Amino acid sequence: MTTGTILRKEHATYGHLLESAKTLLDKYAFGIKPHLIATGATMRALAEKFGGDANTWEIAGMLHDLDWDQLQKDYDKHCGEPLETMLSEINAPPELLSDIRSHYQSKYGADYPLDSLLRCALYTCEELTGFIGAVALVRPSKKLFDLEVPSVRKKLKDKAFAAQVDREQIRKCEELLGLPLDELIGITLSAMKGVSGEMGL
């Protein structure tokens, strides 16, 4: 993506499915559920910043790893047929699956590029929500309420901490969204604090 490219906000809106999406979350997400709640809330906050459809962006965040608990860490199947079957239960439009697949760029990037603000937001924030959750759990409080941006930024520099998290993917927020890293952390942290009770943090 070249600097100065004007991106559409989203390929389609499917915000009318929000309540149905929540039923899928309750049905299929267990261990992954806090991460999905966090990413949904963050995507809603980012939609509000960029003028996107808030319900649509929340759904994409909420369901992006919906299949994970069923796959036993089988990355090859992630965002594949099992997820497509789950989404068919709510008659989701094809754009929802496409938006979700875009966050898995190493596998689906050629077919589902980061060519909307929604997709760029999901790609950069979903790694960050997981990272912030991990940071909260190693604090004395094990909660989000007393976690601030500088503490998250400091942990990001510690490559040994949550080593599986792709730091470069998070930092792409500056290139893809024109959003400084500290601002993305702040938006994400604020959104996650707003749903901390649902997350158990």
Q: Which domain holds residue 139?
A: 15-195
pLDDT tens digits, 156-192: 999 999 999 999 999 999 999 999 999 999 999 999 9
1: in domain: no
Handedness of CA 150, 193, 170, 5 (dihedral sign): negative
pLDDT tens digits, 2-17: 345 689 999 999 999 9
Q: What phi-psi label fits residue 24: left (phi over 0), alpha (psi between -120 and 50 degrees) or beta?
A: alpha
- In the numeric block, the tokens 């400084």 are attached to 180
How many domains in the chain?
1
55: in domain: yes
- pLDDT (0 to 100) of residue 3: 43
**CA dihedral in degrees (83, 1, 125, 31; nearest 10)?**
20
8: in domain: no
108: in domain: yes
What is the mean predicted confidence (pLDDT) over 116-125? Answer: 98
48: in domain: yes
User: CB under 8 Å to 46, separation ≥6 — which residues?
Assistant: 52, 57, 121, 125, 187
Using DSSP, how many helices (H) and how many strands (E) does the chain show?
13, 0
114: in domain: yes
Give the angle subtended at the CA of 68 by the CAs of 17 and 101, to the nearest 5°. Answer: 60
Percent of the chain with pLDDT over 70: 98
Q: Confidence band (pLDDT; 50, 70, 90) for 138?
A: very high
Residue 50 has pLDDT above 90, yes or no: yes
- pLDDT (0 to 100) of residue 4: 53
What is the mean predicted confidence (pLDDT) over 50-70? Answer: 97
CB 173 within 8 A of CB 179: yes
Burial of residue 142 (number of CB atoms within 10 Å: 0-12, 13-18, 19+): exposed
21: in domain: yes
End-to-end CA distance of the chain: 36
53: in domain: yes
The CATH number of residue 97's host domain is 1.10.3210
pTM (predicted TM-score): 0.95
